[in-house]
Amino acid sequence: MQTRLPRIYVDTLGCSKNQVDSEVFIAQARANEFEIVTDIEQANVLVINTCGFIEDAKKESIEHILEGVTLKKQGKLERLLVMGCLSDRYLDDLRADIPEVDNYFGSSHTSLPEVLKELGGRYRKELVGERMLTNPSHYAYMKISEGCDQSCSFCAIPIMRGGHVSRPVDELLTEAHKLKSKGVKELVLIGQDLTWYGLDIYGKRILADLLRNLSDVGFDWIRLQYAYPARFPMDILPVIRERDNICNYLDMPVQHVNTEVLKSMRRGMSGPRLRELLQQIRVEVPGIRLRTTLIVGYPAETNGHFNELIDFVKEARFERLGCFAYSQEEATTAYDLGDPVSAKEKQRRVRELMAVQEEISKEHNEALIDRVLPVLIDRIEDGVAYGRTEWDTPEVDNEVIIQDAASGFSARELHTGSFYHVRIVDAEAYDLFGTIEGPAA
């Protein structure tokens, strides 16, 4: 039984969507006069926001829950609450297997009022759009939708998060203005599928209109993550091209290129159509940088299909690329296909593909040597500044590493969250090195 005012430590696992959920929870908790602590040893309540996307994420979440159980048994915690995707997906199993947890909740966006009630507080509707940022204050993620209506055979997101639910435009604009007033300079739009935005509540997809409205708020950078390639909304491309504060950057996970594999994956797209789409995007938005993710070792993927994927990577020359080994997930439509590709072979394919991409990334970066680019400084450590170009998402993509300045001041004199003109003097596959030319206007 909880006897003291909650001093809450929030342990967030998984993706940036979970991070946003935790930030909304923290803002609501503080409004209820609960104390949020950054050291678990100071807490009497632990809230774990879990991820249940793939096997490794599930294992990490379980490990964190068991660590919390240990702290509770030792008398260091009064209450242990678990929320998020793992609870959505395995609620009954978790309650049966780890009964020491005081309560399990689903995803934060649906269960937040119940979580606050469990802690002796209440959900305050007047705080819609309020968040307590947990990353550096010059950038923020904005989740424009929940869930997903796509039916990819390998993905458990719709099982955990449900179907696509758009957030109303006015709610998003309220949140955007609040973030801008707090000094946020970069807004990163996230959702399981940004391209479906608006269809459920407005009867049509209106991502392009939303981008115009957010651009008008006055952020320096706005970037898009997680755009589904099938039925891609081409009307967003002129907006990206014409609006200076919308980054020439698009995160579009394509997963594979072989038509048979894509059909089995239920991606709604053929290999030739995918190639055509990528070409159209590059023509419509000259200089755009494309980030993608690929899956290798999918049950339907033969050696020939994998070799086709390698050739595609060489041909498409994505500026940013991640590759994952297929994870067989219960209740997905691909589960019954089995898992015929060995873990060893999956990892071999990951290494081979990423070796090809490493050379491509290095060539892209070397082409930037001697160019002067606007760079946003994320952090300064031991006299070295680390920043990003408009083509790089926080904590995911390339960094620009700055050790000195051509104009006579050192990296120590730079300011986190400020823009500078940086001359690129050297490059590696995943990092750029530069010197400061001066502050950006």
| Phi, psi of 216, rounded to the nearest 5 degrees | -70, -20
* Residue-level length of the chain: 441
pLDDT at 67 over 70: yes
Q: Which two tokens stand for residue 341?
A: 């590709």
Return the SS3 of 262. Answer: helix
End-to-end CA distance of the chain: 56
Q: Give the model confidence (pLDDT) of 286-295 as tens digits.
A: 999 999 999 9
Return the SS3 of 370. Answer: coil
pLDDT at 26 over 90: yes
DSSP 417: T
The DSSP result for 15-73, as a single string, is SHHHHHHHHHHHHHHHHTTPEE-SSGGG-SEEEEEE--SSHHHHHHHHHHHHHHHHHHH
- Contact residues for 268 (Cβ-Cβ < 8 A; gap 6+): 150, 230, 231
pLDDT at 213 over 60: yes
pLDDT at 177 over 90: yes
Domains by residue range for the chain, with CATH? 7-127 (3.40.50.12160), 135-252 (3.30.750.210), 372-439 (2.40.50.140)
pLDDT at 404 over 80: no
| Among 305, 226, 225, CA closest to 265 | 305
Residues of the chain above pLDDT 90, percent: 80
Using pLDDT thresholds of 50, 70 and 90, give the confidence band for residue 52: confident
| Among 52, 123, 41, 39, CA closest to 82 | 52
Q: What is the pLDDT of residue 411?
A: 66
Q: What is the separation of C-alpha 436 from the centre of its chain, rounded to a whole number of angstroms?
A: 29
Q: Which two tokens stand for residue 62?
A: 């379980």
What is the Cα Rg of the chain in Å?
23
Q: Give the model confidence (pLDDT) of 132-159 as tens digits.
A: 999 999 999 999 999 999 999 999 888 8
